[in-house]
């Protein structure tokens, strides 16, 4: 008899005696004060639930309308976050490391990038296009630009002036483009002083000194003396890597890997909570 009774108790779906109603608020009473807000929302929801359509049967628009009316506000389809600021990317590195090669490929694979065309006082070489390779100006015109503070940075390179026009940067940043500046290490140092942390400074390196020298030899654009100067300079320049934000290895035959990494840096910069805000 006792055995059957206990078996019955074990199998029954309902308790054999009425349970006291569930103490809904007992747990809340012991919660910290701030959490009571949650209970208020729950109570309000429960109160309105009689007019809320069935989650299983109602259509998505009906549910959206019901949620909006419960909350007393409508859902906005506007982007939750503001558009990321345009970037100023400063790409630098020793001679022959592949700055031009990386930038050329980057421009092919990424949209909304503007590669700044430098102004120069040097005469145009055969095959060069004004406005594409450089903006060719006279020495007087260049010095007038300097006087009017129209250049972000400028330098005398092998007897000719070269400088970065501010107007071009402003114009393309205004269109939402990211700006790419290709400069040597000295240029990067000057730009760091001007831009501070508002620019993104990327240092390109080869995987080894040997690889860099081989690349320079294969390019066949330098004389023996020029090669020696470039190698000696490169040895000094790699010591300055810690002044940059990122370092990217452009390994032999792995141009795509380097370009992908620069692309990832751009993406990561765009996802930053605290955006850089360059003022030119």
Q: What is the dihedral of CA 52, 57, 61, 65, to 10 degrees?
A: 0
Catalytic residue among 219, 235, 243, 274: 219
Quick one: CA dihedral 248, 249, 255, 261, positive or negative?
negative
Q: Which regions of the chain does DSSP assign to beta strands (E)?
A: 88-92, 113-115, 119-120, 135-136, 151-157, 160-165, 178-182, 200-205, 246-249
125 is catalytic: yes
Q: Which is nearer to ligand ATP, 122 or 270 (CB)?
A: 122
Subset of 127-186 contacting ligand ATP (CB under 6 A): none
Q: Is residue 252 involved in binding ligand ATP (CB under 6 A)?
A: yes
Residues in binding contact with ligand ATP, number by CB under 6 A:
15
Does the footprint of ligand ATP cover residue 96 (CB under 6 A)? yes
Q: Which is nearer to ligand ATP, 58 or 249 (CB)?
A: 249
Q: Which of 4, 65, 170, 230 is catalytic?
A: 230
Which is catalytic among the residues 4, 105, 107, 125? 125
DSSP code of residue 76: P
Task: Judge whether 278 and 199 are in contact, CB under 8 Å.
Answer: yes
Q: Which residue is nearest to ligand ATP (CB)?
A: 98
The residue count of the chain comes to 280
Closest CB to ligand ATP among 173 and 238?
238
The C-alpha atoms of residue 273 and residue 190 are separated, in whole angstroms, by: 27
Q: CB-wise, 166 or 215, nearer to ligand ATP?
A: 215
Binding of residue 255 to ligand ATP (CB under 6 A)? yes
| Least distance to ligand ATP, CB of residue 253, Å | 5
From first CA to last CA, the distance across the chain in angstroms is 93
Residue from 71, 67, 47 nearest 59 by CA: 67
Binding flag, residue 95, ligand ATP (CB under 6 A): yes
Q: Does 270 bind ligand ATP (CB under 6 A)?
A: no
| Annotation marks residue 219 as catalytic | yes
Query: Interacting stretch for ligand ATP, rule CB under 6 A, among 124-132, 195-203, 252-260, 270-278?
Result: 252-260
The residues, any chain, with a CB within 8 Å of residue 140's CB and separated by 6 or more, are none
211 in Cβ contact with 110 (< 8 Å): no
Q: Which of 65, 170, 215, 270 touches ligand ATP by CB under 6 A?
A: 215
Q: Which residues are catalytic?
A: 125, 219, 230
Sites of contact with ligand ATP (CB under 6 A): 93, 95-101, 215, 219, 250, 252-255
């Amino acid at each position: 008899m006792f055995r059957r009774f206990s078996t019955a108790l074990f199998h029954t779906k309902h308790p054999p005696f009425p349970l006291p109603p569930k103490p809904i608020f007992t747990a809340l009473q012991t919660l910290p004060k701030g959490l009571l807000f949650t209970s208020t929302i729950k109570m309000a929801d429960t109160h309105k639930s009689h007019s809320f359509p069935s989650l299983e049967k109602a259509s998505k628009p009906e549910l959206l309308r019901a949620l909006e009316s419960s909350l007393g506000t409508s859902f906005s389809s506007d982007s939750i976050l503001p558009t990321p600021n345009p970037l100023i990317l400063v790409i630098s590195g020793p001679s022959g490391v592949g700055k031009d090669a990386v930038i050329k490929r980057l421009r092919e694979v990424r949209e909304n990038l503007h590669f700044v065309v430098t102004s120069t006082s040097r005469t145009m070489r055969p095959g060069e296009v004004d406005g594409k390779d450089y903006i060719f100006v006279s020495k007087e015109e260049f010095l007038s630009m300097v006087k009017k503070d129209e250049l972000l940075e400028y330098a005398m390179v092998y007897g000719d002036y070269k400088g970065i026009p501010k107007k071009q940067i402003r114009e393309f940043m205004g269109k939402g483009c990211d700006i790419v500046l290709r400069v040597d290490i000295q240029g990067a140092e000057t730009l760091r002083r001007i831009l501070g942390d508002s620019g993104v400074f990327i240092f390109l390196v080869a995987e080894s000194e040997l690889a860099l020298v081989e690349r320079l030899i294969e390019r066949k654009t330098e004389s023996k003396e020029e090669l020696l100067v470039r190698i000696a300079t490169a040895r000094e320049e790699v010591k300055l890597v810690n002044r940059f934000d990122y370092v990217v290895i452009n390994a032999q035959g792995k141009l795509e890997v380097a370009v992908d990494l620069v692309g990832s840096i751009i993406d990561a910069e765009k996802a930053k909570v605290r955006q850089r805000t360059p003022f030119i």
